[in-house]
């Protein structure tokens, strides 16, 4: 009986050992706290930029017109070329105009001869009337004839000057420097001074204008923001003006704002503005459509957030993950303003000093605890 008792005790001890071992097994460790890259929200001066459509306009446009009547003999320029002020563009037949000048000179010479004759006669009669050698009436007639001859000479000189100007107008010159377009007439055409026949158009393209419009409603809102102290004004000569071309590219040279119109178009409710851009390579041509980014004001306390830290829902709602004081996550709905470079301007929902998650968003959810490390933009 003793061996059986010993065996039974051993089995019982083994069973107890197995149960004791099972009861002492440790629980699995908790998952590690996710590490995220964060930035602290701060306020800063940010430009308030508006993007507006408009068209390119030449700074100066000169319609070259005929100022003399006659047959067009020559075109002296290459269409589409650059011309300088004073360059001869067309030659009108000068022969009739030269003949008119010669005739005017002849009439003037005759009037001058008659003046010399009547002046001499008037001078003689002046001496004779003093001694009663001629009548006072004869002297008065001689004086009147002299005055008439002087008037004829003055008229003759004016006619000579007019004929000389008309002869000069036979050589049609460019009034400004710029690029000339197509010739409106060809050699052999009859052009007239009375109708001022259009011959060509010269446009100055450097610098060049960009004319655009802005809603009067937006202007009133902007002024209200100035009055409330929410925004600060930018002087017209300090406003940054950037041109966006039709293909979406940015024009390489910045412009300057020249003026804002003082009237509102009653049919559209828009105000016209004008900017000027350098155009040495003639990339910008009159009539081109473009958009301008105009810096109209400065927000001295703008709150910004990196675009990569914002989630946009299908309904347009923007959300940022904010780290609370206890290092847990809060999903915060925010309102966005303009986008500037890689940042959004936040108009509501965030304030300076709060911490938002920028990197590691896929590892967290609202209410979760996190370990934060500073996010550096320069490392990206």
Which three-class secondary structure string do you get for the chain? CHHHHHHHHHHHHHHHHHHHHHHCCCCCCCCCCCEEEEEECCEEEEEEEEEEEEEEEEEEEEEEECCCCEEEEEECCCCCCEECCCCEEEEECCHHHHHHHHHHHHHHHHHHHHHHHHHHHHHHHHHHHHCCCCCHHHHHHHHHHHHHHHHHHHHHHHHHHHHHHHHHCCEEECCCCEEECCCCCCCCCEECCCCCCEEEEEEEEEEEEEEEEEEHHHHHHHHHHHHHCCCEECCCCCCCEEEECCCCCECCCCEEEEEECCCCCCCCCEEEEEEEECCCCCCCCCCCEEEEEEEEEEEEEEEEEEHHHEEECCCCCEEEEEECCCCEEEEEEEEEEEEECCEEEEEECCCCCCEEEEECHHHCCCCCECEEEECCHHHC
**Cα–Cα nearest to 90, from 185, 195, 194, 167:** 185
Question: How many domains does the chain divide into?
Answer: 1
Burial of 292 (0-12, 13-18, 19+ CB in 10 A): buried
Residue 73 pLDDT greater than 90, yes or no: yes
Q: Match 């809603």 to its residue by tokens.
A: 215
List the structure tokens of 359: 């990197």
Residue 217 pLDDT greater than 70, yes or no: yes
CA distance 183 to 72: 12
Residue 205 lies in a domain: no
Residue 301 pLDDT greater than 80, yes or no: no
Residue 376 backbone phi and psi in degrees, to 5: -110, 120
C-alpha dihedral over 138, 144, 149, 154, to 10 degrees? Answer: 170
Question: Each residue of 327-341: b (16+ CB within 10 Å) or e?
Answer: eebeebebebbbeee
Find the domain containing 156 and state its range: 94-169
CA distance 106 to 266: 61
pTM over 0.75: no
Q: What is the pLDDT of residues 240-255, one digit of tens each?
A: 888 999 888 999 998 8
CATH code for position 164:
1.10.287.470
Q: What is the pLDDT of residues 89-107, one digit of tens each?
A: 999 999 999 999 999 999 9
Residue 117 lies in a domain: yes
Residue 245 lies in a domain: no
Give mean pLDDT, residues 350-355.
Answer: 88
Residue 222 lies in a domain: no
- Are 256 and 242 spatial neighbours (Cβ–Cβ below 8 Å)? no
What integer pLDDT is reported at residue 265 of this predicted model?
Answer: 78
Any idea which of 53-57, 231-235, 343-347 has the lowest mean pLDDT? 231-235
Residue 127 lies in a domain: yes
What integer pLDDT is reported at residue 100 of this predicted model?
Answer: 93
What integer pLDDT is reported at residue 377 of this predicted model?
Answer: 66
pLDDT band at 231 (very low <50, low <70, confident <90, very high): low
**Cα–Cα nearest to 69, from 108, 100, 112:** 100
Residue 138 pLDDT greater than 70, yes or no: yes
- Are 39 and 355 spatial neighbours (Cβ–Cβ below 8 Å)? yes
Residue 106 lies in a domain: yes
Give mean pLDDT, residues 124-142.
Answer: 84
List the structure tokens of 114: 């008659």
Residue 330 lies in a domain: no
- In this structure, the number of other CB atoms found within 10 A of the CB of residue 221 comes to 11
Residue 113 lies in a domain: yes
């Amino acid at each position: 009986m003793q061996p059986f008792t010993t065996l039974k005790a051993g089995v019982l001890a083994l069973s107890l050992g197995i149960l004791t071992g099972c009861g002492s097994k440790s629980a699995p460790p908790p998952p590690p706290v996710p590490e995220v890259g964060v930035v602290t929200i701060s306020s800063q001066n940010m430009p308030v930029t508006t993007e507006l459509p408009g068209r390119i306009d030449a700074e100066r446009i000169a319609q070259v017109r005929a100022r003399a009547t006659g047959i067009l003999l020559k075109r002296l320029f290459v269409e589409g070329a650059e011309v300088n002020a004073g360059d001869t563009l067309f030659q009108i037949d000068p022969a009739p105009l030269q003949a008119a000048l010669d005739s005017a000179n002849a009439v003037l010479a005759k009037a001058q001869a008659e003046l010399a004759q009547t002046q001499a006669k008037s001078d003689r009669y002046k001496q004779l009337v003093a001694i009663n050698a001629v009548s006072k009436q004869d002297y008065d007639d001689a004086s009147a004839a002299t005055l008439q001859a002087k008037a004829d000479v003055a008229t003759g000189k004016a006619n000579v000057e007019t004929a000389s100007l008309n002869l000069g107008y036979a050589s049609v010159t460019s009034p400004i420097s710029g690029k000339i377009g197509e010739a409106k007439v060809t050699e052999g055409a009859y052009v007239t001074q009375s109708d001022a026949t259009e011959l060509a158009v010269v446009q100055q393209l450097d610098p060049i204008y960009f004319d655009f419009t802005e809603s009067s409603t937006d202007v009133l809102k902007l002024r209200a923001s100035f009055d409330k102290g929410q925004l600060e004004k930018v002087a017209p000569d300090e406003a940054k003006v950037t041109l966006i071309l039709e293909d979406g590219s940015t024009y390489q040279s910045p412009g300057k704002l020249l003026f804002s119109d003082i009237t509102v178009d009653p049919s559209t409710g828009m105000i016209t503005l004008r900017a000027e851009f350098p155009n040495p390579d003639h990339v910008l041509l009159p009539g081109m459509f473009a958009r301008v980014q105009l810096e109209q004001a400065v927000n001295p306390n703008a709150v910004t957030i990196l675009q990569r830290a914002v989630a946009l829902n299908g309904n347009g709602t923007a959300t940022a993950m904010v780290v609370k004081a206890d290092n847990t996550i809060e999903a915060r709905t925010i309102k966005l303003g303009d986008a500037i470079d890689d940042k959004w301007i936040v108009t509501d929902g965030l304030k300076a000093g709060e911490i938002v998650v920028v990197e590691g968003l896929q590892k967290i959810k609202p209410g979760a605890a996190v370990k934060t490390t500073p996010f550096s933009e320069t490392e990206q």
